């Protein structure tokens, strides 16, 4: 090898080393993403459950405003109405052991996986109104047993009514999962049907000496969604424990049977109504309101009865479990 060739080889090697060193000095930027856990933990303790007197007045005002022509249902002239039952719940101190609850509502894709595994009923995917079954939306068309079976598959269970309420409102008695102030894009809710539509279905009830307007609800896209939204889609829908969509989107099954007596005869420690109430014909409880109902249904303390065997396009669920 002559000197000219040797010099060329050395020069080439030097350039390669310099390029390699320059590349290393530039470095790389690595982004570490921490995905939130699937469940949040709610610590043991006491919280106020139910409707305080001053909050009942606020709820009544919201009922009258949001139901429009059908606000007859906000009056005590209709005492069997569940709207009035919510006004008369009262408030009481309840102690709960620590528990964990799903951060988000169970989706269609998650429920489909349970069906594929052979543990869940295929009914929600093929029965009811299938327009509302989408992989990225909360699963609906689920009976109470469908929801319970899914939770069991994962070693969980449905939350008790008390657990659901504490996870939604915390220990400060919030009206909404995020606090007491209203947020336009905090809940995916519906609205009362237009007055014109309600008038077309109005009937006269002589015993009340007035026209009776049936409660008819309609989707409301003012919150960004006409129907259900993918979990966590509403940017202000996060609650104080890190849960999402506990106000609106889809109403959620809980463990308890419904009773017109509210919380009477239930203990103040880890309460759950496990025996059907004759006055409610075996109805279970749903919480949180939905995309198909007026916004006041989405308040953290608001409760509704639902037939456990029904498949509804506005009822879904999330799971919970005890934490030692």
Predicted confidence (pLDDT) per residue in 73-93, tens digit? 787 666 567 788 888 889 999
237: buried, middle or exposed (CB in 10 Å: 19+, 13-18, 0-12)? Answer: buried
Q: What's the pLDDT score for residue 199?
A: 47
Pick from 48-57, 193-202, 307-316: least confident: 193-202
Q: Does pLDDT of 14 surpass 90?
A: no
Rounded to two decimals, the pTM is 0.84
- Percent of the chain exceeding pLDDT 70 equals 81
Q: What's the pLDDT score for residue 229?
A: 96
Predicted confidence (pLDDT) per residue in 210-234, tens digit? 444 445 677 889 888 999 999 999 9
Predicted confidence (pLDDT) per residue in 286-303, tens digit? 999 999 999 999 999 999
Q: What's the pLDDT score for residue 32?
A: 56
Q: What's the pLDDT score for residue 128?
A: 86
198 vs 103: which has the higher pLDDT: 103
C-beta of residue 124 within 8 angstroms of C-beta of residue 142 = yes
Class assignment of domain 39-191+217-322? alpha beta
Which among 232, 93, 272, 279 has a CA at the least distance from the CA of 173?
A: 93
Q: What's the pLDDT score for residue 88?
A: 82
| Domain residue limits, the chain | 39-191+217-322
Q: What's the pLDDT score for residue 213?
A: 43
149 vs 260: which has the higher pLDDT: 149
207 vs 121: which has the higher pLDDT: 121
Q: What's the pLDDT score for residue 219?
A: 81
Q: What's the pLDDT score for residue 74?
A: 84
Pick from 7-11, 47-51, 87-91, 283-287: least confident: 7-11
Q: Give the pLDDT band of residue 25 (cuts 50, 70, 90).
A: low
Q: What's the pLDDT score for residue 277?
A: 83
In whole angstroms, give the CA distance from residue 282 to residue 20. 74
Predicted confidence (pLDDT) per residue in 164-211, tens digit? 999 999 999 999 999 999 888 899 999 987 654 554 554 444 444 444
Q: What's the pLDDT score for residue 283?
A: 94
- Percent of the chain exceeding pLDDT 90 equals 64
Predicted confidence (pLDDT) per residue in 256-268, tens digit? 999 988 898 999 9
């Amino acid at each position: 090898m002559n000197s000219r060739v040797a010099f060329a080889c050395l020069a080439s090697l030097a350039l390669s080393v310099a390029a390699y060193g320059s590349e290393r000095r530039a470095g790389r930027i690595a982004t570490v993403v921490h995905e939130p856990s699937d469940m949040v933990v709610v610590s043991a303790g006491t919280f106020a459950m139910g409707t305080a007197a001053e909050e009942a007045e606020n709820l009544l005002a919201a009922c009258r405003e949001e139901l429009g022509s059908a606000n007859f249902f906000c009056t005590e002239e209709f005492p069997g109405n569940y709207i009035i039952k919510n006004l008369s719940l009262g408030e009481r101190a309840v102690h709960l052991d620590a528990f964990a609850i799903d951060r988000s509502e169970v989706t269609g894709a998650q429920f489909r996986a349970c069906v594929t595994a052979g543990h869940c009923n295929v009914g929600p995917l093929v029965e009811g109104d299938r327009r509302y079954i989408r992989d990225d939306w909360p699963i609906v068309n689920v009976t109470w047993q469908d929801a319970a079976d899914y939770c069991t598959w994962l070693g969980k269970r449905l939350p008790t009514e008390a657990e659901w309420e504490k996870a939604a409102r915390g220990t400060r008695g919030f009206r909404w999962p995020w606090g007491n102030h209203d947020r336009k894009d905090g809940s995916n809710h519906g609205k009362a049907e237009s007055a014109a539509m309600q008038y077309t279905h109005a009937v006269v009830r002589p015993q009340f000496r007035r026209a009776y307007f049936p409660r008819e609800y309609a989707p409301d896209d003012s919150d960004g969604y006409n129907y259900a939204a993918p979990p966590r889609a509403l940017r202000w829908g996060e609650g104080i424990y890190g849960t999402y969509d506990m106000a609106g989107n889809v109403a959620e099954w809980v463990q308890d049977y419904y009773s017109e007596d509210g919380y009477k005869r239930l203990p103040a420690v880890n309460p759950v109504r496990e025996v059907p109430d004759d006055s409610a014909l075996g109805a279970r409880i749903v919480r949180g309101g939905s995309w198909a109902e007026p916004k006041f249904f989405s308040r953290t303390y608001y409760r509704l009865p639902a037939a456990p065997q029904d498949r509804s396009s506005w009822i879904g669920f999330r799971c919970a479990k005890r934490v030692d």
